[in-house]
Structures are given as structure tokens and as C-alpha cells.
Amino acid sequence: MSQSKTNGLNHIAFIMDGNGRWAKKRHKKREYGHIRGAEVFRKIVRHCADLGIDAVTVYAFSTENWKRPKSEVNAIMSLCRKYIDEALASDAEASVVFLGDKSAFDAKMRSEMEKLEAKTAHYRKKICIAFNYGGHAEIVDAVNALIAGGKTHITEEDITGAIYSGIVPPPDIIVRTGGEYRLSNFLLWQSAYSELFFTETLWPDFTSDELDGIIEEFGKRKRRFGGV
Ligand code: IPE
Ligand code: IPE
Ligand code: MG
């Protein structure tokens, strides 16, 4: 699809929020909302690829989400495993990268994540899944890695290169569904000049049409990056 269709959009990020409330509204367990949310994630990623967008980042599990009941955390972990298995078996031409601290996962899950990353590493299009991701932790880890590498004076470029998501440019757009107006520790370094969009729509109800509307609106915004 043409550049004009996506209004020069290279990287879009989503805070996929509202799964639990979506399920509660239907008198179902929160887990049910995550299952539907995972389906919508697949659909939206496909739509972004069809539009010709190079990079999509999704916030799937935060460093703070471990505070949730074990049953809910386990349900999210198994949805992630299911996605990995599916992606390993598919011939989708996109590089999948997990942003976050993998050391919290068991050895099997870690090795599956790494297998998928290695198998798809050569593709130009990127799907970044923020999983056990926190913006604070990302910056701290980057600084520690730079110190361990012998740096004594750290520049902005050093941090940009050392963060988990250094492989993609900063997001042009961050969309948060679910009606909350905050970043909840997502892409704190990268969001400096991202265009922010908030919608009341709960993630399981989010559609490609609503996304098209956001991209259209993005095209009308004046990005000045501090200039005039
Ligand atoms: C977002 O939906 C998904 C994750 C945080 C894993 P929530 O589970 O936060 O849904 P709400 O915000 O409680 O409705
Ligand atoms: C942000 O949603 C994390 C993800 C979408 C994965 P939360 O539901 O965890 O955020 P808060 O708690 O409302 O800030
Ligand atoms: Mg939430």
C-alpha cells in the first residue's frame, strides 16, 4: 500500500488495555477477555502489515502485571506460548522480537522465545512484543549494560542503541485502548515525540476501521519535534 495511505507511519505501538473489563461486562472471567484480546492482536498486526507499516509494538505484559492473580498470569503466559508455537509453524514474513526481561520465564519458554526470534531475525518487518516489559527497567538495564561494556560517560545515542527496542525507530504513534490516559511504564524513552491516541474502546472491541481512523487523524497532526 502507498506511503500516502499510512501517512508516513513507520512504527505504531499499542497498549492493548481493557481485556478484563470486556470480559466482566459479559459476566465472564478476565481470562476470557485475554483470549479475545489475543485474537484481536493477530488481526490488528495483520492489518498493519497489509497497510505496509514496517514495525508494530504491542504491550502484552508489564513488569507490574505479576501482581495479578496467578490464574490470570498463567492464562496470559499460555496465550503467549500458543502464539509462539503458531508463529514458529507459520511462514509469516515478519521478525518477532520480545522486549523485556526474559529471565523471569522458565527455560522452555525462554528457549522458544529465542528460537522464534532467531528463526525470523532476517525479516525487515518487525513485530515487537513487550512481555515482562517495563520502561524503567529497560533504561536501567541499558545503562548497566553500557557500564559493563566499559562506558564511563553515557550519551543519548548510547541509550537509544542499548535499550531492548533499539532495533526499531521510536514509535510514530502510541494507541492506548481501554479509556485510561497514561503510559503505564510503556516505551518511556522512545515515546518522547510519539503522537498519542487514547480511545475508550476496550481492546477486544478494537477494529481495523478504528485504526484506519487513527492513522487518518495522525496524517493531520503537525509534528514539530521542537521546531517551528
Ligand atoms: C490489558 O487488559 C492486558 C494486560 C494488562 C495483560 P487488562 O487485563 O488490563 O484489562 P482491564 O484494564 O483490567 O480491563
Ligand atoms: C498496561 O495495562 C499493561 C498492558 C496493557 C500490558 P495495565 O492495565 O496493567 O495498566 P494500569 O494498571 O491500568 O496502569
Ligand atoms: Mg488494564
Q: Is residue 95 within 8 Å of 121, Cβ to Cβ? A: yes
Interatomic CA distance for residues 187 and 36, integer angstroms: 24
Indicate if 7 belongs to the active site.
Answer: no
pLDDT of residue 164: 87
Ligand nearest to the backbone CA of 21: 1
Interatomic CA distance for residues 73 and 69, integer angstroms: 6
pLDDT of residue 5: 67
Amino acid at 153: H
Question: How many Å lie between the centroid of ligand 1 and the Cα of residue 20?
Answer: 5
| 202 CA closest ligand 1 atom index | 14
pLDDT of residue 1: 44
Indicate if 17 belongs to the active site.
Answer: yes
| 130 CA closest ligand 2 atom index | 6
* Protein residue with its CA nearest to atom 13 in ligand 1: 20
Q: What value does the mean pLDDT of the chain take? A: 96
- pTM, two decimals, is 0.97
User: With a cut of 50, which residues of the chain have pLDDT below it?
Assistant: 1
Burial 2-33 (b: 16+ CB within 10 A, else e): eeeebeebbbbbbbbbbbbbbbeeeeeebbbb
Burial 35-55 (b: 16+ CB within 10 A, else e): bbbbebbeebbebbbebebbb
